[in-house]
Homo-oligomer: A and B are copies of this chain.
Amino acid sequence: MEPDDTLREALRLAVDPPGGVSIEALRELARDDDATAWDVATTAAHLGVNPHTLRYYERIGLVCVPRDGAGHRRYDAAAVRRLLFLVRMRTSGMSISDLRHYVDLVDADRDTVNERMDMLLEHRDTLRSQIAQLQLALAATEYKIATYREGPRP
């Protein structure tokens, strides 16, 4: 990668709000298969996680990452796609063990679509109730803020 590109990327990463990091770049990479390949630092930066975390995910079998001649990780489109999914699910509260179960299903020989569907449906429900919970908390917080605003000495 050229120094200019590095600088530009660093700037963009600094500007992008955390969590919404570089979805576009990921889309791009994920689109044209096996054209690109990122090293662990780049991938971690794009996904907004610690490089250690990526190595950890690989260690526990969540993802399989090809190597270059020097034995360094080269994240291809497939790996990044899976990691993007993993990070999204983690961020939204799915546990590591559930994710292991899920990727075991994905990597299994037999047809596991139904089981995966069940997991996804369950997670969808979890997400919905989480969102409802948070909206309740948000309402409570906003109410408290409003009362503080109204009566400076409640």
A117 touches B148 (CB 8 A): yes
If A113-B153, A134-B92, A136-B88 touch, whether A144 touches B127 (CB-CB below 8 Å) is no
Answer yes or no: A96 CB below 8 A from chain B CBs: no
The answer to whether B141 and A131 have CB atoms under 8 Å apart is no
Query: Roughly how many angstroms separate A85 CA and B131 CA in the complex, as a whole number?
Result: 18
Q: 7 new A-B pairs (CB below 8 Å) besides A89-B137, A92-B138, A127-B137?
A: A19-B129, A19-B132, A88-B137, A113-B148, A117-B148, A127-B138, A131-B138
The 10 closest A-B pairs by CB, nearest first: A92-B137, A127-B138, A124-B141, A131-B134, A120-B145, A88-B137, A117-B148, A92-B134, A88-B140, A19-B133
* Chain A positions near chain B (C-beta within 8 angstroms): 17, 19, 85, 88-89, 91-92, 111, 113, 116-117, 120-121, 123-124, 127-138, 140-142, 144-145, 148, 152-153
21 residue pairs A–B, Cβ–Cβ below 8 Å: A19-B133, A85-B140, A88-B137, A88-B140, A91-B133, A92-B134, A92-B138, A111-B153, A113-B148, A116-B148, A117-B145, A117-B148, A120-B141, A120-B144, A124-B141, A124-B142, A127-B134, A127-B137, A130-B134, A131-B135, A131-B138
